[in-house]
Structures are given as structure tokens and as C-alpha cells.
Amino acid sequence: MNILQTEASPNFGGQEYEMVLEAKELAKRGHHVILIINSKNKILAETIKQFKLNFYQLPFKNTIDLFSIIKMRKIIKKHNIEIIHSHSPKDHWISYWATLNSNIPILRWRDIINPVPSKWHRSFIYKRGCKYLLVRCNMIKEMFIKNNKINPKKIKVIPASIDFEKFNPNINGNYIRSEFNIPLNAIIIALIAQIRPEKGHKYFIEAANYLKDRPNIYFLIVGGETDKSSIRINELKDLINKFGLKNIIFTGFRKDIPQIISTIDILVLPSTDVESVGRVILEAFAMKKPVIATFIGGIPEFVLNKKTGILIPPHNSKAIAEAIDFILNNPLKTKEMIENAYDFVKRNFSVKTIVDKIEEIQNDALK
């Protein structure tokens, strides 16, 4: 099958990585996969090159960017594209205009929780502009049914997928401690996410302040900046200075996430909004690391409190600190949660299992 994947976002995060991971698996199965991405997204372009996939870059200036529409139409014709996966609003609209009056089905992915306005011109592209709407968790499906009156049969839940060759308990990341001068016997707590307000970095830092009397503990903030991150990082550093904390480290964007997860003791994802899954949670599960996460979006579908991890309310730094204390003070319960989480992710989230489901939907869309 000739497949086109499109992504207009200029940023790189879980959504973009997910697209490439699943595109690679589709290509391994003999499909001809082409990607079109934002010309500003250098990290995504580099990632696609590493996965040895073919791609084009377009500006995606807006939803009616004539240049992008014409170029996409030419790419579709050149590669005899049979089906399109679109991942963000701009590339969805460009795909829609480029395939108008054709029989090429569009599969629209939706990874984030924040609701789409119910007005007809915002709902139209989801109702009429795609064959199926593919969402990463049940909460997103229910949101579209309730807010946008989309037929439930049109919405398919396809969870995030994990590459278990890349994320597994046998990965060694000891050099991370050397790189950041962290003692071998120190406890490392990490937040791995783009620097964005809804990821809850402020509460992570406040939790570190609650635990400042606990000896030999370090806090890693792992993640790259987005277009609006510079001011945000300065605010976070001001907060750190206000508390007088010396044990918080910003690593910046990292390509070696498996090695970082391997060396940490606890993963914290204190999201406050728009989190569907938080694929780093599943990656930590796969590497047998305990997880603390907020009761936001689709996270409770995967983090089952005191079973596969610890759930806490959002906007609550004290709850983060208490959850960290619980994990450090209860090794037997923590081991039980780790094993439960590992079994859960291995059963349900392998990239092969997820792409099996994608192929079924593709075949159905072409009938």
C-alpha cells in the first residue's frame, strides 16, 4: 500500500516520534511510506533520516496554503498515494484540499485531550474531512462524541506504541551520572517532557523544595524548548534560585531517552492539561521504573493507582513529594507496581500490535 503521513507541527515530541515509529513498522511490512513534514522541524527531519524513511518538507503556513496544497498534490500523484494519515490541523486541511474530488481516504490522528470547539466550521474537518478519526485514548473519543457529535463508529482508539528493542530494562545509562556529576548512590527523580506550561515543571520544582532536607537526591528536567519556551525556562530557573535549590539539573533536549530512563529511580509526569497518554510513562513501564503521574486526560487509563504507578491530583506539588516519599519508603510495594506495569505494557503496547490495528483500519478505509 502507498501511504502518506503528514505532520505540520514545527515541534518534536511524543506525537511526532509516534508517527515515525509506526511509519517505520509499516515500511518494514512492505508498504511504501512517504512523510511530509514542516520545513521548520529540524529534529523531526533528523529522526526520519535515522529511521531511513523518505520525506518531503513543506511550509504549512496556514490551512489554505496554496503552495503546500499544490506541492502535496504533486507528491500524491508521483507516489500514487492510496491513503493519508494526517496528524495536526494544518496538514489535515492541506491534505483535504489536495485530495478534494479524489477517492483517497484520510485517517486523522488526534493525540491531545484539549477539546475541539463545537462550532460547525471547527467540527467539519473531523466529521466530513476524514474517513476515520484515530485517537490515543478513550477519553479523547468520548470528548469528540459529546462535544462535536461525531458518530462513535467513525472513531477508533489506537493506543501509543513502544519499541521494546529500544526501551527495555537491560539498557545501560551509567554515563548519564558521570556527565552531570551525580554520585552513583544518589537517587534521581526525572521529569521528561517538552518545556511547556501544561507539563507541570513548576510543581516538580516545588516538590523538590518540599524534599530539600532529604539527602542525596537529584532532580532532572529533561526536554527541549518549544517556540515559546525561553521565557518559561527563565521563570523556572528564577523559582529554583528563590528556593535555593542546587540539586536540579536541566539537560535540554536529549536523543538518549532510553539511557536516561535507565539511570533514574523515579519518573514524574505532573501534567496539568491536554495529556492523552504521555508516552514516556509507557517507556518507563517498559524499563521497569516507577511512575508518578497526574489524574489528567487519558493517564488514568494506563496508570492504575497503587497498581501500575501512583496517581496524584494536578497542580499539587506536595502530593508529588508525598508520592516520591511513598516509593522510596516502600520498596516491596514499588516492586509490585513495577512488575504490574511491565506486564501491562508488554501485553498491550508493542509497535507490532499497534500497527496490526492500523493495517486493519487502512484496509477497511479502502473498501
Contact 137, 157 (CB under 8 A): yes
Q: How far apart are CA 92 and CA 87, in angstroms?
A: 7
pLDDT for 225 equals: 76
Q: What is the pLDDT of residue 231?
A: 63
Domains of the chain: 2-161+350-365 (3.40.50.2000), 175-348 (3.40.50.2000)
Listed as ranges, residues in the chain with pLDDT below 70 are 226-231, 274
Has this prediction a pTM greater than 0.75?
A: yes
Q: Which three cell numbers stand for residue 109?
A: 490522528
Would you call 304 helix, strand, or coil by DSSP?
Answer: coil
In the structure grid, which three cell numbers stand for residue 8, read together?
505540520
CA-wise closest residue to 129 among 113, 111, 148, 157: 148
DSSP 3-state of 7:
strand
Instruction: Give the integer Cα–Cα distance in Å for 245 and 264.
Output: 19
Identify the residue whose cell numbers are 460547525: 120
- pLDDT at residue 305, rounded to an integer: 97
The pLDDT assigned to 13 comes to: 84
Q: What is the rounded (10 degree) CA torsion for 258, 264, 269, 275? A: 10
Tens digits of residue pLDDT in 119-172: 888 899 999 999 999 999 999 999 999 999 999 999 999 999 999 999 999 999
HSE toward the beta carbon, residue 341, CA cutoff 13 A: 32
| Torsional class of 181: left (φ above 0), alpha (ψ -120 to 50), beta (otherwise) | left
